[in-house]
Structure formats: structure tokens, C-alpha cells
Structure 1
Amino acid sequence: MTAISAKSLVELLGDDDEQSHWLILEETGQTLPALYSLSPAPDYEWLFLHTPYAGLLKRSPLVLRLDTVAREIRQAFENDPRQGDFSGIVVSSHHPHDAVLAHLRRCLEVRFYGNRRAMLRYYYPAIAACLFAPDSKPHRQWLGPLDQWVWFGTTTQRLDEQPQWHALRDDTDTQAIASDESSRPITLSNGQENALEQHIRTSQATERTTHYHYHREGSLT
């Protein structure tokens, strides 16, 4: 696998007519209404459907075909892919839609710290940066039938890194994975665990700082 960067999304998507692209949007509570405000009949699927998380369908990310999505939706995503109503990531593949969707659903649950299991928000750009950065050493299983994972942001959690578009790509001739592997939760690498831990610490520190400044500015003392 290899990681590349680009200044624009279109550079990473390329012009392969046989390759399709999917947009995975995190549901913020305003995403679905915003989607319908830009398109009268958006074609999407619930990522959590047919998974153990189907009971949380109202919070389920939305999966859309980027190739056929309304121009306004794609533009809204590219304008603010990390925050707002259209935060999310992109995946590309030469495989059928059903195979891609099944893989995306499989990736929801991961194994970490030995035998622990949990749901992972890989569709959140900051989490994608932790998972797919070269230093995290992601397992080949993350790609499965995919050609690439694409996100906007950083490849590490360094605060001084300039955000841009990144992709983790398959650099092999085959995308086949053993059938017994495809039914198992993907195990996080040590690098991925470390990157996620660092992300959590950074997020908590930022939240504490924001909370402190909020109270200082609102204080009478």
C-alpha cells in the first residue's frame, strides 16, 4: 500500500471510467436535511443498515455514489470536508456497489488491544487520518475491494501540518482477500492504536482549553 497527497480531490480520483467513487458522510443531525435542501431526491444508503448498529439508524452515516450525486452536494463536501453538515471521506473501487458497501459495513467493528472490540468512526476525517497515515502501518484488510481511501486533513496529528487531500492506495495487482479473513473484524495495528490515542489526548486537551477560555471570557473577575 502507498499514501499520496494532492491539492484537490479530482487529482486523486483520476479519470478511470471503470472506477467508481463513493462519499461517506457522517450524520451530524443536520446532514440529511441539508442533503434534501440541495437535491429533491438524493440517492443514499444507511451505512448502519444490516449491521449490529441498525438500531442507531438515525445517527448512521450516509453512503452516496459520488459519480452520480448532485453537483451541489459534491461542492458542499469539497468546500468543508472536515466539519459542518457534509463532513466525511471518499472511497474508490473497480468492484460492484454491493461489495463495496459490505466492506464498508465490515470496517465498522475493529479489534484492538488484543481481543477488545468496538465500533470505529473511520468515516470521520480526523479518525481516517489516524488509521490510514503511513506511520500507522494499516493492515491490507482495510482496502479489501477498495482501490483507495481518501480524506482531507493531515497524515499525522501534528498541529503544524498543512491540511490537504490524502489517499491510501492499493499498489498490488490483486485485491483478493481470503474468505475467512473477510468475516473477521480488522485488527488495529500498534501504529493505529497509538495514533488514535494521540488524537484522543489532543482532542481532550483542546476541549479543556476551549472550556477554560469560555469561562474566563464570561467571568466577571
Structure 2
Amino acid sequence: MMTGQWLLLERTEQLLPELYRLGEAPDPIRLFDDTELAECEEESPLLINAQTNPPVLAAAQSQPKAWPGLLLETAGPTEELLTHLRQILFIRFDQERRGVLRYSRQRTASYFFPACDHETRPTWLGPIQRLSWYGGTWHDCADGREAWHHIENQQATIWQAGAITYEQRLSAMQEQALQRQRGEHFLYQWWKQQSGIHFETAWNYLAGGMQAGFASAESLSTYLNLRYASPQVAPPATLPGSTDQERLDALAQHLATSTTDKESTA
């Protein structure tokens, strides 16, 4: 059976004009149609037949940052692929919480799909034989390591339509991956405003702040600023105080005192 190629593209301001400029018959299919997200049509990713639009495929492969999304390869019919893609939009996590998984975003894909092990991968990829995207995690972005990623699904040929009849529940590994995505995104926003600090070092600072009990964006940002300003000084094992501000004040005092002591003995 011949394998077909599809592009699942994120909506950008330039997407539709470029599709109709390059495509011979783009015929975009909105992913959110026929789902409870149908009213959000302007935000819906678009599914494009890559084989009938080779110039679009070539542009997406040569300039992937300008064409954010996924490249899908499948031997199944269009409707089966579309049904599956819509099915895995809606997920259950953290006991009974329900959400939308924006897996077509390359950054999310870089965390989520590598967290699908050999047991869960066939469920999430369904009829997709090969999934490809360009990008990486926020850590990859900070280190300049963005690249093409590929995941194979050897069980795609035996997948049957209707295999998923309910909303999928995230595994512990998948939940942890998405939590790390949120943490690294927060850190990336802070990191890019600094200079002379490796992302891995900043990640260790953030982990230390969370272990110390700081949870709000404001308190964690202050913790990062304090650690960044005194990189040679280790924080105390515990911080006294009953509020975030009291513990941040204690940390600031400890770092200032330790820095002064080091300078006086130098």
C-alpha cells in the first residue's frame, strides 16, 4: 500500500496566502472542524495533502521555522487519519482533569512524543507510520540544538479505525514531560534576558528554588536573580521564614554575607 504524506500546519498570518501561492490544490482541512473546538476555527491547525502540493512540502522542509507543524506519513485513508488526529486532541490528566493537547506545535511535540514509550506510541500515532518535525525543547533552543526529529510507528499497518473510543489519559512520563515544558519555558523567558549563564546552570538554580518551596513566578524569578548575582555561593540547606519574602530576604542576606567573606579572605 502506498504511503501518503500530509502536513499538519499551525496557523500563522502568512500560512493561507503562502499555501495558495505555492500549492496546486491546497484544499486545507481544519483540524478543529467537527469537534467541540469548531468555533475556534481561526486557531485551528490545517491538514494539507503534501503529495498533491509538492512546492508546499519543499518549502516546509527547507524552511521549517516558517512552516511550523508536523509532517505525517501514513498508508491509511484521509478520513481515518483525520479522525485519529481529532481524537487525540482531547486528553485526561492529573486524575480527572481534561484538556486539549496542542501536539501540532513543534515545541510541544518535542516534549510529548519522545515521552511515548513503545507501549503507548501505537495508541498516540495510530495510522501514522512516521512522524517528523523540526525544533526541540526550550533547552535545545537555548543551546542552539534545534533539528529535525523523527518517530517511527511499526504498528501503524495493523492499526484499526475506532481503536480509540475514549479520551486518552496521559502516562506519568507524559505528564512529567509536559510539566518540564512549562518549567523550561518559564526559565527560557528569564534566561534570554541574562548573559554569561548556561541554560543547564539556570535549570539547576530553578530546581533549587522549587525544592526550597518557591512556586510563584515572581518568587522564582527573584530566587533566580539572587543566585545569578552570586554564582560562587551555595544557598543554605534550609531558609528560615514563614513567607516567600522572608525566605528570599534570608537567602539574600546569606549570599551577601558569604560573598563579603570570600572577598575579605581573597
TM-score of the two chains, using structure 1 as the length reference: 0.76
Residues 187 and 161 of structure 1, relative CA distance in 2, 3 Å threshold: farther
- 1:31 paired residue number: 15
- 2:79 paired residue number: 98
- 1:6 paired residue number: none
Cα distance in 2 for partners of 1:173, 1:105 equals: 17
Residues 157 and 193 of structure 1, relative CA distance in 2, 3 Å threshold: farther
- 2:152 paired residue number: 169
1:51-200, aligned counterparts within 5 Å?
A: 51-71=35-55, 73-81=56-64, 83-84=65-66, 86-133=67-114, 135-137=115-117, 139=120, 140-154=122-136, 157-158=139-140, 160=143, 162-172=145-155, 174-176=157-159, 179=162, 181-200=163-182
Question: Is contact 1:154-1:161 (8 Å) kept?
Answer: no
Residues 44 and 119 of structure 1, relative CA distance in 2, 3 Å threshold: same
| Corresponding residue SS for 1:36 | helix
Identity of aligned residues (%): 30
Residues 54 and 211 of structure 1, relative CA distance in 2, 3 Å threshold: farther
Question: Is contact 2:90-2:167 (8 Å) kept?
Answer: yes
| Corresponding residue SS for 1:127 | helix
Cα distance in 2 for partners of 1:22, 1:33 equals: 19
Question: Is contact 1:22-1:65 (8 Å) kept?
Answer: yes
Cα distance in 2 for partners of 1:173, 1:184 equals: 19
Q: How many residue pairs end up in the alignment?
A: 192
**CA offset digits 1:150-199 (Å, max 9, x no partner):** 112348955547333222212248533584x5121122221111111111
Cα distance in 1 for partners of 2:156, 2:46 equals: 30
Bigger RCO of structures 1 and 2 (CA < 8 A, at least 6 apart): 1
Q: CA deviation at 1:23?
A: 0.2
Question: Is contact 1:136-1:190 (8 Å) kept?
Answer: no
Residues 38 and 173 of structure 1, relative CA distance in 2, 3 Å threshold: closer
5+ residue gaps in structure 1? 1-16, 214-221
Q: 1:202 aligns with which of 184, 203, 218?
A: 184
Question: Is contact 2:6-2:71 (8 Å) kept?
Answer: yes
5+ residue gaps in structure 2? 196-266
More helix per residue: 2
Cα distance in 1 for partners of 2:171, 2:160 equals: 18
Cα-Cα RMSD:
2.7
Q: CA deviation at 1:104?
A: 0.8
Q: CA deviation at 1:63?
A: 0.3
Cα distance in 2 for partners of 1:151, 1:118 equals: 23
| Corresponding residue SS for 2:158 | coil
AA partner of residue 145 (structure 2): Q
TM-score of the two chains, using structure 2 as the length reference: 0.64
- 2:253 paired residue number: none
